[in-house]
Amino acid sequence: MHEFSAPLTAAKLIKRYKRFLADVYFLPELQAQNTALNKVERDQMTVHCPNTGAMTGCQDQHSTVYLSKSANPKRKYAYTWEYATDEHGHKICVNTTNANRVVEAALENHSIAELSLYGQVIPEQKVNNSRIDFLLKEDGFVDCYLEVKSATLAEQTTAMFPDTVTKRGQKHCYELAQLAQQNHKAVLLFCVMRENITHFKIAESIDPDYAKAVKFAVDKGVELLCYGCELDLNGIRLSNRIPIIF
């Protein structure tokens, strides 16, 4: 489980802008829940948005958002936007850096069944001119290269990736395919960072070239996995495997 340093703080979203920034405010009932807020923080303030993507369906005006607070007094924006909510109140983790943290914790706890036999977890492994998220090693097993993608887009209960065109994602697919052809184990894991999801599919209508790259990778031996997450105000845990729709 990836744990936050303190429970997240609830607020209401005003707007997101310049990709990295968002303005929020606190309603009276949210202020009552967050007694640690000082007077300035109870009014409108700007927070850091750690997501450069389209964030489709994750930035509805006046939806509830959840924020973490940095202990670093030198930070310009003390709060980071961690969760959004959809129209039904289901939480969506918009901080894409959390996906690797959650998967790394699961790998170290051997809680991903398909990868549980690997004992050594090495993050950020350089491959050609880029990096693959994890290299997994274990005596008696071929090395495993694992790339993680954070999925936040959804249609009803079906999660999708990507939410915008991703040249980087396409490149990773072809690199994983090359590794699989070199007799390594190569895995592409979609980490669904939102609640109320039952299935997953590639968003071919958004990025048909990415869909082609995934198909090419699978044809060359790359394994696809999809896992959901449990999201609460204290942390995020990788949970159940989610079926992939082809």
Domain check: are 48 and 105 in the same one?
no
Estimate to the nearest angstrom the gap between the alpha carbon of 70 and the chain centroid: 20
Q: Is the peptide bond before 162 cis (omega within 30 degrees of 0)?
A: yes
pLDDT of the residue at 30 = 55
| Stated pTM of the model | 0.90
Domain check: are 31 and 129 in the same one?
no
**Over the range 216-236, which residues count as b (16 or more CB within 10 Å of their CB) and which as e?**
ebbebbbbebbbbbebeeebb
Q: Which residue has the higher pLDDT, 246 or 203?
A: 203
Backbone φ, ψ for residue 124 (5° rounding): 55, 65
Residue 193: pLDDT band (50, 70, 90) is: very high
pLDDT of the residue at 68 = 94
Task: Give the count of domains, the chain.
Answer: 2
Residue 127: pLDDT band (50, 70, 90) is: confident
pLDDT of the residue at 47 = 95
Domain check: are 87 and 146 in the same one?
no
The CATH number of whichever domain residue 47 belongs to comes to 2.40.50.580
Could you give the percent of the chain with pLDDT greater than 70?
93
- 208-219 and 167-181 are packed helices; what angle lies between their axes, rounded to 10 degrees? 10
Q: 71-103, pLDDT tens digit by residue? A: 898 899 999 999 999 989 999 999 989 999 999
Contact 237, 102 (CB under 8 A): yes
Task: Note down the domain range covering 170.
Answer: 97-245
Q: Is the pLDDT of residue 188 over 70?
A: yes
Q: 199-209, pLDDT tens digit by residue? A: 999 999 999 99
Contact 198, 240 (CB under 8 A): no
Strand order in the sheet with 120-127: 2-3, 235-241, 223-231, 185-192, 144-151, 130-137, 120-127
Average pLDDT over residues 37-56: 78
The CATH number of whichever domain residue 149 belongs to comes to 3.40.1350.60
